[in-house]
Amino acid sequence: MKLQDDPPSGVSGAPTEDNILIWQAIIFGPQDSPFEDGTFKVILEFTEEYPNKPPNVKFLSKMFHPNVYSDGSICLDILQNRWSPTYDVAAILTSLQSLLDEPNPTSPANSVAAQLYQENRKEYNKRVQQVVEWSWMNFPDDEVPEHSETSRGSRRRSSSRDASSGQSTSQPGEFVPQI
């Protein structure tokens, strides 16, 4: 499956125009979760060691979540000690989307969010709702990754660019991340 041609529900992404190793992505908050209706920007930075080593992945959008550090870095096992070369960009993004709905408060990156998640879910949900609303106000149309199409009704976007080949325009011998 190619992420750009047939993205999983609620996620999309594409390499930046000037660097195939840097990807911009969008994750929509999962339905029936506190993050529902949020639009969250993510950056994935690959090295030449991919797929043997995971990309560096960060939320660019403001986030309040037990497993997300204040700088947007993510505490997720598949991006660290449980990485497998079989994971592609779609698997990473869908794992992030699942993490939004199912945090791991026993391995917190944000101790305040973890404590609220465990002890005061109403306040946690209120703080998450503020982040969701902030994501609406800070998501200009021109920052949607090219070739993206999402499955969210009112926030559905698509690009007029040609992504039919699913191929990179990289130079011969240049590394291209698996999508």
* Residue located via tokens 């991919």: 50
∠ CA 74-61-104, rounded to 5°: 30
∠ CA 172-177-179, rounded to 5°: 120
- The one catalytic residue among 25, 75, 89, 93: 75
Which of 48, 59, 51, 41 has its CA nearest to residue 19? 48
Instruction: Dig out the tokens for 53 from the structure.
Output: 């080593």
Is 75 one of the annotated active-site residues of the chain? yes
Q: Which positions are catalytic?
A: 75
